[in-house]
Every structure is written in structure tokens, then in C-alpha cells.
Amino acid sequence: MADLSKLERDLAALERDSTLHSSDNLAGRFEALKTLDFLGEAYAIKAGQRLAASGLRRVRALQGDLGGLNQALFRKLRLGIQSRTVKPGQLRALLESNCRYRRGDTASMHWGAEAADALAAGIFRSDCVPQPWDGGDAEMIHYESTPVSAVLELVDRVPLTRGDRFVDIGSGLGQVVLMVHLLTGVESVGLEVVPEYVEQARGESAELGLDGVSFSEGDARDADLCGGTVYFLFSPFRGQMLQMVLNRLGQEARTRRLIVCSFGPCTEQIAAESWLSLQEAGMNHEFRLAVFHSDS
């Protein structure tokens, strides 16, 4: 653990950095807040030493200031989405400027939190989980937001049109559904088993005034699969539960051509499906976005 003199130097440098107070410098504040988290823990451990208490107070004050600037930015963007003054291209540019992914980067690995993830969480309030995860079914996986970079790659690689219906299976608090609709204009649906998550996602959609978005409550093993043409799964479940849902999607693929996108550990199991073909070889890695096409 760093000594107090090192902590003081690092904290003083952040306090002097005026660029952190620029409203659009989200990336700078994102990194600064990570550093402040570390400094706060370090000062707390050294609580018995001189200057530790004042250092901790300074950390908390700066965290409050920078967090307040972020909240102001999130409110401004939410108002822009509600009033339709924030256009899809503007939202796309803002998200992309705060992550490593760039359009056309099909070798991108999506891992580690980035400023774009904090931005999306702030806009869509997707970090405000209404209740703790209770474990659900043994094969269900706890809620976690999809990396923004993976969503940007999805809308780049999948040619979504007005005739498509995008369905996120295991949509959680709805962030992917909201982002895909805002970035492409395509009709987007979330299917989620936790009622409280569905209620919150519907509330966000309504507050943002989005007409082409809906959320359905149900277990994907037997619920209506919403007539999608493009499905997305960020490892909402595994094992036999995942296989049951894949079998149902296979039946759907007998009636129309489907695109199935996946991210996370579920990709390996999806890649074994005989009715699906991987769009690009070598993409079936859990930290990459995989895009499959049905063979029908």
C-alpha cells in the first residue's frame, strides 16, 4: 500500500486538474474516480496516521464534485433523447469516443469497464438494480450490463432494417434494447424473467418517450419469443436451460431466417448448433461478439 506522501501527491494532482471539470470530459472523470476509489481505501486503512482523515475528506469532496458533473451530463443527455435533439449519430459518436472499439474493428475484445459503460449506465439508469439477485434458477446467471462496445459492434455488423425486430433474451434493465433502438431506429424488444427488472425497463422507456421499444416478462423456455429476426444473448443462462431456448429458436428458424448474436460464455454452446453458421471464423470467444446466421 502506498505511503501517505504518495497518496498526497496523487490526490493533489487530481485536485489541480481543471480539465476534469469540463462537462464533456467523461473519460477523464471516469479514470479520476477510479483513482479516487483507491485513494479513499488507502486513506481509510491509514486512518490512525496524521493527515489521513483530512485526505479522506478531500477524496470524498472531489468524488462528490466529479460525480455531480457526471450526473449533470446524464440529465442533459436524457433530456436530449426525450426532446429528440440528441440524434442517433451524436449518441453513437459520444459512446464511441469513450471506448476502445472503433467501427469495423471485428477483432475487438470486449472486457473491462470503460467510460462508455458509465455513460450508458447514467443515461439509462442501468446500474440501479431494484433488488439483489436471489440466484433464480440454478442455471440462470446474475444480471450484468453488456459492454457498450459490444453493442456498437453489433449494430455495425448486423444490417438492421425497419423490417427487423431485435430481441434481447435476458434483457435485464433494458440497456441493450434501448441502445439498439436509439442507434438504429429498429423495433426492439426485451424478454426478461425478473418482474422488477421488466417494470424498471418499461419505466425508463416511457420516461425517454420511446415508441419502438417494449419489454415482455417471461421465462424464455416457454414464453413468446416475440417474433424476432435478430436475437441477442449475453449469457443469461447456461446448460440445459440454454439448450432449451436454442431448441426453440431452432424451431423459429424453420419459419424465417434468423440472426443470433451472442457474447460471453454462452457463445461456445451456441456455436455447436447445427442450424447456425458463424458469420466470421474465429469469433466464438467469450470476450468477442459472435454473429450467427440460421441455415434455413
Per the structure block, which three cell numbers stand in for 227?
A: 417474433
Return the C-alpha torsion angle 291, 225, 246, 185, nearest 10: 0
Q: Which residues pair with 291 in a beta bridge?
A: 261
Which DSSP string do the residues of 207-254 spell out, in sequence order? HHT-SSEEEEES-TTTS--TT-SEEEESS-B-HHHHHHHHHHHHHHTT
- Predicted local confidence at residue 3, as pLDDT: 82
What distance in Å separates the CA atoms of residue 11 and residue 253, rounded to the nearest whole number?
Answer: 57
Say if residues 30 and 66 touch (Cβ distance below 8 Å).
no
| 72 exposure class (CB count in 10 Å sphere: 0-12, 13-18, 19+) | exposed
Count CA within 13 A, CB hemisphere, residue 174.
32
Beta-carbon contacts of 266 under 8 Å, excluding residues fewer than 6 positions away, are 233, 234, 235, 236, 237, 238, 242
SS in 3 state form for 76-117?
HHHHHHHHCCCCHHHHHHHHHCCCCCCCCCCCCCCCCCCHHH
- Indicate left, alpha or beta for 239 from its phi (over 0: left) and psi (-120 to 50: alpha): left
- Predicted local confidence at residue 282, as pLDDT: 66
- Predicted local confidence at residue 36, as pLDDT: 98
DSSP state of 190: E
Q: What is the SS3 assignment for 259?
A: strand
Task: Report domain 93-294's class.
Answer: alpha beta
The H or E element that residue 200 is part of is helix 195-208
User: What ranges do the domains of the chain cover?
Assistant: 4-86, 93-294
Say if residues 32 and 63 touch (Cβ distance below 8 Å).
no
Angle at Cα 58 formed by Cα 57 and Cα 64, nearest 5°?
90
Per the structure block, which three cell numbers stand in for 72?
A: 449533470
Say if residues 29 and 66 touch (Cβ distance below 8 Å).
yes
Say if residues 1 and 42 touch (Cβ distance below 8 Å).
yes
pLDDT tens series, the chain, 296 aa? 568 889 999 999 999 999 999 999 999 999 999 999 999 999 999 887 878 999 999 999 999 999 999 999 999 999 999 999 999 999 999 999 999 999 988 778 999 999 999 999 999 999 888 877 776 778 888 888 999 999 999 999 999 999 999 999 999 999 999 999 999 999 999 999 999 999 999 999 999 999 999 999 999 999 999 999 999 999 999 999 999 999 999 999 999 999 999 999 999 999 999 999 998 876 678 899 999 999 86
- Predicted local confidence at residue 296, as pLDDT: 60
- Predicted local confidence at residue 106, as pLDDT: 77
What distance in Å separates the CA atoms of residue 178 and residue 173, rounded to the nearest whole number?
Answer: 10
Per the structure block, which three cell numbers stand in for 204?
A: 425508463
What distance in Å separates the CA atoms of residue 288 and residue 116, rounded to the nearest whole number?
Answer: 17
- Predicted local confidence at residue 143, as pLDDT: 87
Phi/psi at 279 (5° precision): -60, -45
